[in-house]
Structure 1
Amino acid sequence: MTGEPGLDTPSAPPAAHSVPDLLLTLRQARFTGSVLVSGTPGGTIRLEQGLVTAVETPGAPAVETLLLKSGRIGEAQWAAAEAAAGSASPGGRPADLGAVLVAQGAIGAAELETVCAAAVFDGAFALALGRPGSWQAAEADLPARIALRPGVEPGRLSEETARRVSLLTRLGSPPRELAAVRIRPSAQAGTAAARTSARHRDILVAATGRRTARDLAFALGRGVFAVMLDLVRMDAGHLLHREPATAAPGVPSVAPRTPPSGPPPISDGPLPRRVRGEQPLGATAARTGTPARGALSAPAEPTAAHEKSEKNAR
């Protein structure tokens, strides 16, 4: 299905005007497959029975990066699990890598669920920061190697994405603008570093002046939203200097290009209401194929798994 698909189910509406609308339609149809979103950064949204189980995008670290870069799982443990998952299904369809990691004792089931949930929410947030493009749904697609099960309701994912965009905007750093700058420590950072948290000190060490928030997230094994929120707080303490990310053509990003949130902290105050006009995760396609922006609905309270991920990030 491409452009403005009519789903291959008789009960599906004839059209969806945005990716969030499409996801809601696919939820009603209990669709299992993928939605491929074009644009920058673009990505793949995995669904099982209409629930979002993974969001894979070069714009945000995936579960593998979050686990390995944060040190939750060692390289040898990951390689052993991959080998076991591959050999467990000689028919060509690899076994559930998450289940293998838990079975081998590399990570607990609850912790893995928390990391998977963080990656789903952070991937959706990263898609919201990019230029909108078209989309394509594919039924005959392999599931994610490691996924959140049973998954997240599409409406819940849209609401949380809108909340994150609204929060950063309210704090004076619209995320699309923050995503476009490179970060380096300020002149005052050296003397103030000892009084900051370990999480902030890690950012100061990794902020070489060449890295964006996305690059820092990949380097540290943390979510893009979590890094952005820390950057805003550090900026308020005059610890950072922002430089426009205007790299010369052909100069690659310094972030590791491993396959594709840790988890994102929340603000200390009440959650903001949605700002009208914010249009996260807005990859849409009109009948003519011309991309148009979509919008997400109003914010809601985080899920239990996501609340746990945010608490652990603090």
Structure 2
Amino acid sequence: MRGLELARTLSEAPLGRISGTLLVAGDPGGSFHLRGGAIVEVVSPGAPGAETLLLRSGRVSEADWASATRSCPTERLIGAELVARELVGAAELQLICTAAALDGALAVGMGRIDGFSLEHDTQDCRLAALQAIEPDWLVREAERRIRALASRRRPFSPFRTRLGRTDAGTASLDTTVAGERREILLRVNGRRSARDIAFLLGRSLYAVAVEVSRLLGEGLIEAVVPARFKDSPVRPATAAGNLPRRLPGASGITDILPLRPAAGL
């Protein structure tokens, strides 16, 4: 129910023109930064933020980022400074900030929500979107993406499921063309989750999770069973993917808390 309460609070933010930070406790948890009732940034340890997407992808260099941050009186103006220096276009930056906000909301919604609180009039966001994002739209789109991942043939947790490459996946590296799929395959090592790979690549969590789902379905990667469960007598395995059936929360799908707009309650 906390997910529904969170969605209701976000949907009602425009009515009160709320400015502040909605702090969400949980795993992974996160924060929604609001200005005048609209969202300017969503941050979660479960998904790469806009800063990571800019730097890890190479769109902005570490040196240029450091120089821009030194010139800004407040961190929330970094985006405008990057555009003024022509390090990134305004439209591209808005797209990146929106993608990061959606990823943050997805991470919060797919995780465990223990509670949330609103701190009014705080201005501690890292990289605000140039144009604020409507909460209702963000909630609807985050819910759509959560449901899309949950409906996949091989559902998994982007945070907890460790991914390993199968023999077929390793062999496919010889024929897989350069691109996101190959970059993901190269970083699958039995210890990393989709979240870990998204951070390494500086790519959207949702985009990486969708590609991971495809790779799982094609048998090129598999979920790696933690060593402590390998000899467990309560762990009947499936023929495909060797996934545990009786480990609560192993897939992450049982943790999904649907983020619905208040109107849909």
> What SS does the aligned partner of 1:34 have?
strand
1:246–1:26 Cα change, 3 Å: farther
The residue number in structure 2 matching 1:84 is 71
* Alpha carbons of structure 1 residues 125 and 106: separation in structure 2 relative to 1, 3 Å: same
Q: Does 1:130 align with 2:111?
A: yes
User: 3-state SS of the aligned residue for 2:113?
Assistant: coil
Q: Take 1:111 and 1:297, find their aligned partners in 2: how far apart are those partners? A: 31
**Are the aligned partners of 2:11 and 2:262 in contact in 1 as well (CA < 8 Å)?**
no
CA distance in 1, matches of 2:142, 2:112: 16
User: For 1:101 and 1:111, how far apart are their aligned partners in 2?
Assistant: 11
Computed over aligned residues only, the root mean square deviation of the Cα atoms, in angstroms, reads: 2.6
TM-score, normalised to structure 1's length?
A: 0.69
Q: 3-state SS of the aligned residue for 1:23?
A: helix
**Alpha-carbon distance in 2 for matches of 1:298, 1:279:** 17
1:32 equivalenced with 2:13 (yes/no): no
Letter in 1 for 2:169: A
Please point out which of 130, 145, 159 is paired with 1:179: 159
User: Are 1:70 and 2:52 counterparts?
Assistant: no
Contact 1:125 1:280 in 2 (8 A): no
- TM-score, length-scaled by structure 2: 0.82
1:142 is paired with a residue whose SS is coil
**Offset at residue 179 of structure 1 (A):** 3.5
Matched residues in 2 for 1:139 and 1:179: separation?
30
CA–CA separation in structure 2 for the residues paired with 1:106 and 1:140: 30
Cα offset for 1:278?
6.2
Residue 21 (structure 1) aligns with: 8
Structure 1 runs (4+) deviating above 6 angstroms are: none
In 2, Cα distance between the equivalents of 1:77 and 1:246? 44
State how 1:95-110 maps to structure 2 within 5 Å. Answer: 96-110=77-91
Aligned to 2:231: none
Deviations 1:9-40 (A, max 9, x none): xxxxxxx9601111122211011111011111
Q: For structure 1, which segment, 118-127 or 230-239, has the greater mean C-alpha deviation from structure 2 after superposition?
A: 230-239
Does residue 280 of the first structure (1) align with residue 258 of the second (2)? Answer: yes
Residue in structure 2 matched with residue 222 of structure 1 by the alignment: 203
Q: Which runs of 5+ in 2 are unaligned?
A: 229-254
In structure 2, what is the Cα distance between the partners aligned to 1:95 and 1:148? 9
User: What number of residue pairs does the alignment pair up?
Assistant: 237
1:40-71 CA-to-partner distances (Å, cap 9, x unmatched) read: 11111001111111111101100111111111
